[in-house]
Amino acid sequence: MAVVTSTTPSSGQTCLQIWWRRTTGSEMLRFNGGGHINHTIFCTNLSPNGGGEPQSELMEAIKRDFGSFQKMKEKMSSATVAVQGSGWGWLGFDKENGRLRIAACANQDPLQGTTGLIPLLGIDVWEHAYYLQYKNVRPDYVKAIWNIINWENINERFQAAKK
Ligand SMILES: [Fe+2]
């Protein structure tokens, strides 16, 4: 799957950052466009055969930037559960310094447009993502989602983001 991370030679901004800037004032465009971007990533981040731990370079980067895989999961889970209202928790790649970072975004604001981080793994915490199975208990949903994370996909995104 192609991942959009290219930059334009003139501004150094990604296509998504340019799109985000140019849609200022159009909340509907941002909401629907952002929702499409976020869910497209989310769908590939999950797999019925997922879970476990990432391999090789991605695991090394997680250990370097968070101390351990467990600490990264805890930090991302906390940030995601703490989103006020509806939004997303993210594991992103900071191309400026080559580091992984955790971030949270409100509503359907896309990670790259709002923070510049390249999205690797997103967790949807709009209530529609978990209400049927978990009612309003967001922490249980976030705890369980690690069992279906498709680390191969996240590793592919990580490799593409580093280029
Ligand atoms: Fe959603």
55: helix, coil or strand?
Answer: coil
Per-residue pLDDT of the chain (163 residues; tens, 9 = 90+): 344 444 444 567 777 888 888 888 888 888 999 999 999 999 999 999 999 999 989 999 999 999 999 999 999 999 999 999 999 999 999 999 999 999 999 999 999 999 999 999 999 999 999 999 999 999 999 999 999 999 999 999 999 999 9
95 C-alpha vs ligand 1 centroid, how far in Å?
26
Distance (angstroms) between ligand 1 centre and the Cα of 21 equals 23
Distance 16 CA to ligand 1 centre (A): 19
- For the whole prediction, is pTM greater than 0.85? yes
* β 118-124/87-94 pair status: antiparallel
101 CA from centroid of ligand 1 (Å): 22
Are 93 and 127 a contacting pair, CB within 8 Å? Answer: no
Contact 74, 62 (CB under 8 A): no
Radius of gyration of the chain (CA): 15
d(CA 104, ligand 1 centre) in Å = 14
Residue 53's SS3 state is coil
